[in-house]
Amino acid sequence: MTDTNALRFASDDAAAVPLFVIEQEALEAWCAGQSPAVAAWVETANFTAALGTNLIVPDAQGAPVMALAGYGTAPARARGRFHLAGAAKSLPKGTYRLAGDLPVALSDMLEHEALGWLLGGYSFDRYRAQTGAPARLLAPEGIDAARVEVIAEAEALTRDLINTPAADMGPRDLEAACVTVAARFDADITVIKGEALQEQNFPMIHAVGRAATHAPRLIDMRWGTAGPKLTLVGKGVCFDTGGLNLKPAASMGLMKKDMGGAATVLGLAQMIMALGLRVQLRVLIPAVENSVAGNAFRPGDILASRKGLSVENNNTDAEGRLVLGDALAYGAEDNPDLMISMATLTGAARVAVGPDLAPYFTDDASVCAALEAAAQQVGDPVWRLPFWEAYEADLEPGIADLDNAPKGGFAGAITAALFLRRFAGTEARYTHFDIYGWNPSAKPARPKGGVGMGARAILAALPQMLDL
Ligand code: BES
Ligand code: ZN
Ligand code: ZN
């Protein structure tokens, strides 16, 4: 929906304006190396090279001869993620090329910063008549420009899917989005829908989604015939009213984003396929709407599950773990080498770490080591939380095997993760991300709205996690 050109580097353009990226403490020395006219212009404009600022230097006719982007100081940069994008955002439209000696901090993160520039060009304009044209960048030398473009495009897909309101992104539309991606990469896709979910033993996906107009479904996409088996499972609750335990207005307002896990795994899958990684990829997305009607599942209902465990539903708003439970049990039947779920699963995860970090759970120290290193490298922060065994007891209610909503209000993200692990088992190096999927305030390269979390860290960690 974003102009796809905005997500690519500009092609060779002799007229590209040279862009000098300058750290605050290096500005004086830089000016000393320029003509007196340029130095005077910088001074008159009060340009201090503060992070996120820029300055155009015109010729006598008013045409830009060069541009300066402020790269601030190291402490200022430590607070953000994409720094070049901050300065690029307000550059006049046109094409730019990085010029001069780059700050060391920038050349160390050049691929990441170039990605930030492309993502800064993202805007969700499906419902707007007019769209703006962002400043474009020639691919800097020394980076894998094609890879950066693949990542930018997939991240834009994730954002678009999350940003689209539920009326246009119901289970049917989410399926259509998966079919489009599958067709592009020649992946196989099957969809088990409506009553067929009951017949083929996905009782919890059926129960959660049956009250909605668009039937619940399990989307199953496979790609690649060689290499380790990687299974990605994404929560695709296209709207979460809370069900009969209806959410209050303030909590329901944003619930179009409750398919953020599905959007993020689909974006990650697109990256993996476009880059041609040697894996046997499977994507499982239970796509449902947690809706209210006479046939909705009720508080107190006990559901059967694919795994054979019975689940007492003490809160119909804890629906994500139900649909994921059946999908994870199905995924585990195939014995993947690594199974990762991503879900906007609990309010507790957001309370614990806020919207900037992707909390995750794993029992596997090598998965943890790979993720931590990769997250740092690609600027996609993750934070490990524990599968804390002692809280297993909280999942066990009176009259069924499991309780979907433990009382007490303690450790909600952990008890939800433990619930999922009961279905995933421990064989498949199960790793679970409880993401927020939403950026509450605009930051460079990350406008307010839907956002992928953890996908780039996982992508960068895959070679180590799967011995690729
Ligand atoms: N989709 C919500 C979780 C959520 C809420 C994620 C807000 C991000 C922002 C989920 O289905 C839910 O409602 N979970 C409940 C579980 C509780 C009833 C055990 C929660 O976290 O409050
Ligand atoms: Zn819910
Ligand atoms: Zn939910």
CATH number, domain of 78, equals 3.40.220.10
Residue 456 has pLDDT above 70, yes or no: yes
Q: Model confidence at 146, in pLDDT bands (50, 70, 90)?
A: very high
Query: Distance, CA 211 to ligand 2 centroid (Å)?
Result: 14
Ligand 1 centroid distance, CA of 113 (Å): 34
Pairing mode, strands 188-193 and 217-223: antiparallel
Residues 84 and 21 in one domain: yes
Q: What is the mean pLDDT of residues 112-119?
A: 98
Tell the residue number behind the tokens 């524990």, with chain if given.
386
Within a domain: residue 144? no
- Which residues, 6 or more positions from 117, have their beta carbon under 8 angstroms from its beta carbon? 82, 84, 85, 88, 137, 445
Q: CA 308 to CA 404: how far, in whole Å?
A: 15
C-alpha closest to that of 67 among 109, 105, 32, 95: 95
Are 125 and 153 found together in one domain? no
> Of 307, 321, 421, 429, which one is the catalytic site residue?
321
The verdict on 374 and 271 lying in the same domain is yes
Reported confidence tier of residue 179, pLDDT bands at 50, 70, 90: very high
- Catalytic residue check, 321: yes
Residue 436 alpha carbon, nearest atom of ligand 1: 8
Residue 132 has a pLDDT of 77
Ligand 1 contacts (CB < 6 A) are: 240, 258, 315, 317-320, 344-348, 350, 405, 412, 436
End of a domain among 106, 132, 158? 132
51-68 burial, b for 16+ CB within 10 Å, e for fewer?
bbbbbbbeeeeeebebbb
| Residue 353: CB atoms within 10 Å | 18
User: What does the longest C-alpha to C-alpha distance in the chain come to?
Assistant: 83
- Cα separation of 352 and 345, whole Å? 13
1, pLDDT greater than 70 = no
Residue 393 token pair: 């007891």
Residues 372 and 330 in one domain: yes
The reply to whether 91 and 215 lie within a common domain is no
Ligand 1, atom 19, lies closest to the CA of: 405
CA distance linking residue 50 with residue 408, whole number of Å: 48
The pTM (predicted TM-score) of the whole model is 0.98
Residues 28-39: pLDDT tens digits? Answer: 999 999 999 999
286: buried, middle or exposed (CB in 10 Å: 19+, 13-18, 0-12)? Answer: buried
Mean pLDDT over each residue of the chain, to the nearest integer = 96
**Do 236 and 265 sit in the same domain of this protein?**
yes
Q: Give CA–CA dist 11/130, Å, rounded.
A: 25
Per residue in 238-267, pLDDT (tens digit) is: 999 999 999 999 999 999 999 999 999 999
CA distance linking residue 425 with residue 68, whole number of Å: 54
Lowest mean pLDDT among 125-129, 271-275, 330-334: 125-129
The reported pLDDT for the residue numbered 176 is 98
Of 103, 132, 161, which one is at a domain's C-terminal end? 132
User: What percentage of the chain exceeds 90 in pLDDT?
Assistant: 94
Whether 154 has a pLDDT exceeding 70, the answer reads: yes
Residue 235 · residue 257 · CB < 8 Å: no
Asked whether residue 167 carries a pLDDT value surpassing 70, the answer given is yes
Structural domain of 314:
149-466
Please give the single-letter amino acid code of residue 327: A
**Residue carrying the six token digits 């049990």:** 329
Instruction: Identify which ligand lies nearest to the alpha carbon of 435.
Output: 1
The pLDDT value given to residue 21 = 98
- 64: helix, strand or coil: strand
Query: Considering its fold, how many domains does the chain have in total?
Result: 2
Angle, in degrees to the nearest 10, between helices 455-466 and 145-163 = 130
Residues 99 and 221 placed together within one structural domain of the fold: no
Whether residue 399 sits in one domain with residue 264: yes
> How confident is residue 2, by pLDDT bands cut at 50, 70 and 90?
low
Closest atom of ligand 1 to 237 CA is: 1
| Mean pLDDT calculated for residue range 193-205 | 98
Nearest-atom number in ligand 1 for the CA of 317 is 13
Tens digit of each residue's pLDDT (9 = 90 or more) over 120-142: 999 999 999 877 788 999 999 99
Mean pLDDT of 36-56: 97
Eight-class DSSP state of 395: G
247 is catalytic: yes
